Amino acid sequence: MDYVSLNKTNRLFWLGRYSERVLSLTQYMMYWYDKMIDGSGIDYEDYCEKIGIPCKYESSEDFIRKYLFDKEDKYSLRNAAEEMLGNGMVLRETISSKTLAYLQMAVNALELASSDSAPGIELQWVIDDVMAFRGSCDDFIEEEYIRNIIKCGISIERMSLYLRLGYNLEQASKEIKKMMNRLYKSGLEAQAMSVGTIELYRMDKSEGVSEEELLQAVENLVVL
């Protein structure tokens, strides 16, 4: 029996969110690394606006490297990975040292990738490690509601990225269903307004609820 304080709940939730941010964005950037082979660069100004971060990059290449690897850039993926690890470190006895090791390995892989001109292989390791982390969580954590706090964070982050970047929207209904299911199992407190908006969207997604409103609802769904 593990005891979870409000602080810990908060960390579990953000551990989920950051792990998804690292996973999704690594995949997203790998997609653009591949595109760049054929000469098309990412529209980084548009990306920054959608994600809601300041755009201070000089070129596509400059953006990809700094956004992925720059420790000094507080919006970078590298920093998201550090946050993920940081939240994991304060949850060691809940998620186990074995599970935590995968987060450490993901950060180590990202560090290795930063010094490689072709970081594709190392980025794949990052993805592998995050996936292994999730498997290990599932395997180790006894209480279902604790697992679902992490998963709820994962779903919310994933929906948030889909909506912000406008991709995989065809998956939205499926993800929302998963998200709500996890939310109820986690025992986290839900904001009634957000739940209302999301249910409305699920019932009739073409009308009534804009993507912007849905994003707001997703972001505000959990009361911590």
List interacting residues with another protein (CB under 8 A).
2-9, 85-86, 89-90, 92-93, 96-97, 100-101, 104-105, 108, 187
For 84-114, give the DSSP string. Answer: HHHHHHTTHHHH-HHHHHHHHHHHHHHHHHH
Cβ 197 to another protein, closest distance in Å?
26
DSSP code of residue 171: G
Residue in 88, 73, 96, 76 with CA at minimum distance from that of residue 21: 76
Taking a C-beta distance cutoff of 8 angstroms, is the pair 25, 77 a contact? yes
Residue 192's CB is within 10 A of a number of other CB atoms, namely 9
Question: Smaller CB distance to another protein: residue 109 or 154?
Answer: 109
Question: Smaller CB distance to another protein: residue 4 or 190?
Answer: 4
Residue in 68, 69, 75 with CA at minimum distance from that of residue 42: 68
Question: Smaller CB distance to another protein: residue 51 or 101?
Answer: 101
Question: Smaller CB distance to another protein: residue 132 or 215?
Answer: 132
Cβ 8 to another protein, closest distance in Å?
8
Cβ 169 to another protein, closest distance in Å?
34
Cβ 72 to another protein, closest distance in Å?
14
Taking a C-beta distance cutoff of 8 angstroms, is the pair 78, 71 a contact? yes
